[in-house]
Amino acid sequence: MGFLPISKQEMEEQGIEQFDFVYIIGDAYVDHPSFGHAIISRVLHSHGYSVGIISQPDWKDNESIAVLGKPRLGFLISGGNMDSMVNHYFVSGKHRPTDAYSPGGEPYKRPDHATVVYGNLVRRTYRDVPVIIGGIEASLRRMAHYDYWSDSFKRSILLDSQADLISYGMGEKSIVEIADALASGIAVKDITFIPGTVFKTRDISGIYDSVILPSYEAMKEDPKQYAESFWTQYCNTDPFTGKTLVEAYPNGIFVVQNPPQPPLTTLEMDEIYDLPYMRTYHPSYEEKGGVPAISEIQFSLVSNRGCFGGCNFCALTFHQGRIVQIRSHDSIVKEAEEMIKHKDFKGYIHDVGGPTANFRHPSCQKQMTRGVCKDRQCLFPKPCPNLEADHTDYLALLRRLRALPGVKKVFIRSGIRFDYLLADNDDIFFRELVEHHVSGQLKVAPEHISDQVLRYLGKPRKEVYEKFVRKYKKWNEQLGKKQFLVPYLMSSHPGSTLKEAIELAEYLRDLGYMPEQVQDFYPTPSTVSTVMYYTGIDPRNGKSVYVCRNPHEKAMQRALIQYRNPNNYDLVREALIKGGREDLIGFDKKCLIRPRKIESGKPKQTKKRTIRNVHKKKQADAG
């Protein structure tokens, strides 16, 4: 059927007089299931609703959101595949020079806090049309939250955007229920009953079995109350056990979050990924060279969603949930067979995975009837006794893909959860991972090596990672391969002082490894770690935690991880002195840096550069 319409001309060509929904997005229009706007629009279309796309409208022009006319049922708004603030800024606050989700990688094509800006843009033009916001930006700001970029405590994005509803999480089920309710004539203010949605009201008398959170004003006044509220929210992210949450605002307004939408069955996942996506960007972007983000996913396969890893710096618990949902082998293989026919396919499937590649089933069967545990994690601080660590299904899928005609290699580039891999008593997957699915180097995410910091990160102890490293090395030796590990490391996470940063530098010294990239901790909404950063409290137990907020100390912690870089010398030296570790400045093998050369005290003799000397040099060079 081709792309969904993005202009009046395409609308007329498809015989559409008025759209049911107009979808405003912060990204370029890419009709591929790795893009949230593609999934939501295709799901709605498959249920009989017409959808028009307005991509990256000019937020300074009210008419930019009127180009497709007034929709019959409502406007849908998404800031994009990435949070617009993360998309725009490095953690340092500097603006990113490119945007992979815009045509030609051009930056500045969307505003800061895009969902809020687009919502207000619609409200200025169409005051009586329902507005539903969704996507990662809205999902993670659905209740009051800390905003790192303004260093302030913000209201629910539902209020700031002037929207009527939030469809949070992945949203396929909730958006269809919203559409059906609107189509049946139910006023948007009365759509208060759909799982996976957030609404606003002045009357909560009819809301039963709910949890009343601290009010916005109380949390703004006392960060400790925010930490407590966040943990209540965290413990209610499960569709089986989650309660309705109520947050009070001034002037008698309440923001109400319904429990999450149920997890998708494998059949439902297959139906969504089998929809007739064009699997590329709209042809109107060709003149600018296309959309860079497509190169990362065009020859990759999504096999799962959800994650029971429970990393504290990750927002997946709030967005996709902890229950793993999967596609069938047949659905994935079918997509691979279509991929192989692509003119640019060179025989390499770049990835088969999701948030965590080697999660292909719920961590235990209890989750599918009772939900996830509120008082414990599946892998942290060590694997739960009920954990089913089994790679049999994932291995069978990879073998089928490897056997397809035209496929030379199948790589795994999504994160591999190494503690889960070690929990599997059968080593066959580990062996085949090393033998068939590593492209010269395997990226893993220990994040740190200090057990204190790892506790705050929600990651396994250092000894677990070291066991994985030894086993990876053993399999490479047995298989006659020279493949490397690339560890992702994070600086300045809550709990990390200069002492722990120096400990990490010493570990890298002993390893003989200098990471090319280091991620400074980025406080994004709706993570345990961000709550620690803002409040100085671990919401899991209410205890105080050290937080590195000073930009100079953050620079020192980052520099220590790359202590061999000459540009970092002064910062590393200052950090070692401040941390009481001057023993690491010297000529011994254990030292991180050498002392500066001792000056003789005599002024350096510099050759006077005269016109005559320059002339002589030119003559000599010419001769």
**pLDDT (average), residues 343-363:** 95
Residues 141-178: tens digit of each pLDDT: 999 999 999 999 999 999 999 999 999 999 999 999 99
The C-alpha atoms of residue 119 and residue 115 are separated, in whole angstroms, by 6
- Does residue 619 carry a pLDDT above 80? no
End-to-end CA distance of the chain: 73
The C-alpha atoms of residue 302 and residue 318 are separated, in whole angstroms, by 20
Q: How many other C-beta atoms lie within 10 A of the C-beta of residue 400?
A: 15
Q: Cβ(401)–Cβ(352) under 8 Å?
A: yes
pLDDT at residue number 614: 42
- Does residue 616 carry a pLDDT above 60? no
Domain-embedded: residue 19? yes
Cα 236 to chain centroid, rounded: 20
Residues 182-228: tens digit of each pLDDT: 999 999 999 999 999 999 999 999 998 999 999 999 999 999 999 99
pLDDT at residue number 23: 98
Q: Cβ(588)–Cβ(597) under 8 Å?
A: no
The C-alpha atoms of residue 201 and residue 192 are separated, in whole angstroms, by 9
Residues 317-342: tens digit of each pLDDT: 999 999 999 999 999 999 999 999 99
77 three-state secondary structure:
strand
* Residue 385 CB partners (closer than 8 Å, separation 6+): none
Point out the domain boundary residue: 176, 198, 220: 198
**pLDDT (average), residues 119-139:** 96
- Does residue 517 carry a pLDDT above 90? no
Q: Which of 201, 211, 408, 241 is nearest to 323 (CA)?
A: 241
One domain for residues 166 and 19: yes
User: Tokens 């994005």 correspond to what residue?
Assistant: 157
Structural Rg of the chain based on CA atoms: 27
Domain-embedded: residue 337? yes
What are the tokens at 585?
Answer: 């400045």
Work out whether strand 51-55 and strand 537-538 pair parallel, antiparallel, or are unpaired. Answer: unpaired
Q: Cβ(276)–Cβ(220) under 8 Å?
A: no
Element (H, E) at 111: none
User: Tokens 């497509």 correspond to what residue?
Assistant: 294
* Amino acid symbol at 225: Q
Q: Which of 423, 342, 437 is nearest to 379 (CA)?
A: 423
pLDDT at residue number 514: 86
The CATH number that applies at residue 349 is 3.30.750.210
Domain-embedded: residue 602? no
Percent over 70 (pLDDT), the chain: 96
Element (H, E) at 473: helix 462-478
Query: Phi then psi for 487, rounded to 5 degrees?
Result: -85, 130
One domain for residues 133 and 19: yes
pLDDT at residue number 598: 56
* Amino acid symbol at 372: V
The C-alpha atoms of residue 467 and residue 486 are separated, in whole angstroms, by 15
**pLDDT (average), residues 76-80:** 97
Query: Phi then psi for 116, rounded to 5 degrees?
Result: -65, -45
Q: Which of 352, 356, 357, 362 is nearest to 324 (CA)?
A: 362
Provide the mean pLDDT of the chain: 94
**pLDDT (average), residues 426-436:** 97
pLDDT at residue number 234: 96
**pLDDT (average), residues 545-549:** 97
62 three-state secondary structure:
helix
The C-alpha atoms of residue 33 and residue 55 are separated, in whole angstroms, by 17
How many residues are there in the chain?
A: 623
Q: Which of 35, 41, 40 is nearest to 3 (CA)?
A: 41
Residues 587-604: tens digit of each pLDDT: 999 999 999 875 444 444
Residues 99-115: tens digit of each pLDDT: 999 999 999 999 999 99
One domain for residues 187 and 336: no
Query: Phi then psi for 437, rounded to 5 degrees?
Result: -120, 15
Point out the domain boundary residue: 152, 183, 198: 198
538 three-state secondary structure:
strand
Domain-embedded: residue 318? yes
The alpha carbon dihedral of 298, 304, 306, 307 has a sign of negative
How far lies 166's CA from each of 90, 130, 224, 239, 297, in Å?
A: 27, 11, 26, 17, 27
* Residue 439 CB partners (closer than 8 Å, separation 6+): 409, 411, 413
Cα 247 to chain centroid, rounded: 26
* Residue 187 CB partners (closer than 8 Å, separation 6+): none
pLDDT at residue number 376: 87
- How many Cα atoms within 13 Å fall on the side-chain side of residue 364? 14
One domain for residues 42 and 157: yes
Residues 434-487: tens digit of each pLDDT: 999 998 999 999 999 999 999 999 999 999 999 999 999 999 999 999 999 999
One domain for residues 33 and 165: yes
**pLDDT (average), residues 499-523:** 93
* Amino acid symbol at 344: D
One domain for residues 194 and 309: no
Q: Cβ(315)–Cβ(333) under 8 Å?
A: no
pLDDT at residue number 606: 43
One domain for residues 50 and 186: yes
Q: What b/e sequence results for 69-88 when a residue is b if at least 16 CB atoms lie within 10 Å of its CB, and e otherwise?
A: eebbbbbbbbbbbbbbbbbb
As a dihedral over the C-alpha atoms of residue 401, residue 406, residue 408, residue 412, rounded to 10 degrees, the angle is: -40
The C-alpha atoms of residue 557 and residue 575 are separated, in whole angstroms, by 8
Domain-embedded: residue 186? yes
Q: What b/e sequence results for 223-251 when a residue is b if at least 16 CB atoms lie within 10 Å of its CB, and e otherwise?
A: bbbbbbbbbbbbbbbbbbebebbbbbbee
Q: Cβ(176)–Cβ(268) under 8 Å?
A: no
pLDDT at residue number 367: 86
One domain for residues 194 and 51: yes
pLDDT at residue number 596: 85
What are the tokens at 384?
Answer: 């739960």
How far lies 381's CA from each of 419, 456, 583, in Å?
A: 10, 10, 33
Point out the domain boundary residue: 383, 417, 439: 439
What are the tokens at 572?
Answer: 């590393």
* Residue 3 CB partners (closer than 8 Å, separation 6+): 10, 29, 31, 278, 282, 283
- Does residue 93 carry a pLDDT above 90? yes
Q: Cβ(129)–Cβ(136) under 8 Å?
A: no
The CATH number that applies at residue 155 is 3.40.50.280
Cis amide bond preceding 381, omega within 30: yes
Q: Cβ(478)–Cβ(435) under 8 Å?
A: no
* Amino acid symbol at 384: C
Q: What pTM did the predictor assign?
A: 0.93
Range of the domain at 143: 8-198
Domain-embedded: residue 90? yes
Domain count, the chain: 2
Domain-embedded: residue 486? no
Residues 268-318: tens digit of each pLDDT: 999 999 999 999 999 999 999 999 999 989 999 999 999 999 899 999 999
Domain-embedded: residue 533? no
